[in-house]
Amino acid sequence: MEIQNFSCLESQILTLFNQGKKTFDSLLDSVSFGEKTLTTTLEGLLSKNILKFNQTKNEYVYDSPINDEMVILDGNILLPTTIVRIPDRNIMYVSRGTWYQFPIDFDVRRIIWNVKLQSKTNSTLVELIKTSVLKERKSKIIQLPEYEQLKNKIIPYSSKIGLLMNTIGEELTDVSIVFKIKLSSDDICPEHRGFTVRTEISTEELLAQLKTPLAERNYVEGIKLNQIFNFSDFLFSKNEIPVSLINNELTYIKITGIKKQFEMTYYKLGMNGQNYKGNVEVYDDSNEAIEKLRDIFHGLPNLLLSENNFMCELTE
């Protein structure tokens, strides 16, 4: 069995490439991330010998020609493309949320992904980017006195996500997305709630749900939630980054210092519900600490985000 992966960003670039976007500028105009991330992603495709740069035409081309028509498949924008080849059975499986079977000699470069989120809203890429605009509005939010009682309350957005209300403003509400990490599959077991990221939601949508009878509330459908984040969004004091979950014991890092020196403290959460403090690491060079956390993010944190239909850009 042979397994090959293309990241969600690489998959997006290849789809745009198949749609005729072959110059750097045309790709940059079509993606939702910046120039640095695009450059890094293209370098990855060049190193995999998928693309090469034609200096005469000043555009990217495939390393070898495609000899057949393109195929459009439905996929999930938040997931990478996984290719599993089984030579003994002469078949290939390709997945980006849904598994497709092809002959083993199928050229996967022919695929154009019609990407949708695996959610009840079936959000398209354009809708997802529009939702992300909420996060970009940085105006100061002033707490409305009539909703003071809602501050620091957690909305059960879903079984795996809570929304901690920080400031309820006239148009926007500042919230922290709380990722719930259960230590086992038991109904009653300790749950870690220290892994968070801040964003903004519509106050109108929030209040509409809170005014709906409890049995009829549907937060996922009723509240648009930003689902695209940068790695830096998770780097703030007191945030707790999960490292591993082994034998019902969660190891996580708490960012305990950021200003003068970068300090990270290790903790373990066991089935008894107690947190046990471990080693403290202090870095004079913040870049070293950040790169260590970036490596960690490729593991359990990225898995948790993907399972909840979130995407974290790690190459910013």
Residue 129 scores a pLDDT above 60: no
Q: Mark whether 231 and 201 lie in a shared domain.
A: yes
3-state secondary structure of 179: strand
Q: Mark whether 195 and 298 lie in a shared domain.
A: yes
Q: What is the pLDDT of residues 261-298, one digit of tens each?
A: 889 999 999 999 999 999 999 988 787 888 889 889 98
Stated pTM of the model:
0.60
| Domain count across the chain | 2
Question: Are β-strands 228-230 and 240-246 bridged in parallel, bridged antiparallel, or unpaired?
Answer: unpaired
Q: Which residue has the higher pLDDT, 130 or 91?
A: 91
Q: Mark whether 149 and 252 lie in a shared domain.
A: yes
Contact status, residue 87 vs residue 68, Cβ threshold 8 Å = no
CA separation for the pair 272, 157 (Å, rounded): 26
Number of CB atoms found within 10 A of residue 273's CB: 10
Domain containing 158: what range?
125-313
Q: Residue 39: give its domain's CATH number.
A: 1.10.10
Contact status, residue 147 vs residue 168, Cβ threshold 8 Å = yes
Closest to 13 (Cα-Cα) out of 80, 66, 106: 80
State which amino acid sits at residue 117. Answer: L
State which amino acid sits at residue 132. Answer: S
Query: Is 120 among the domain residues?
Result: no
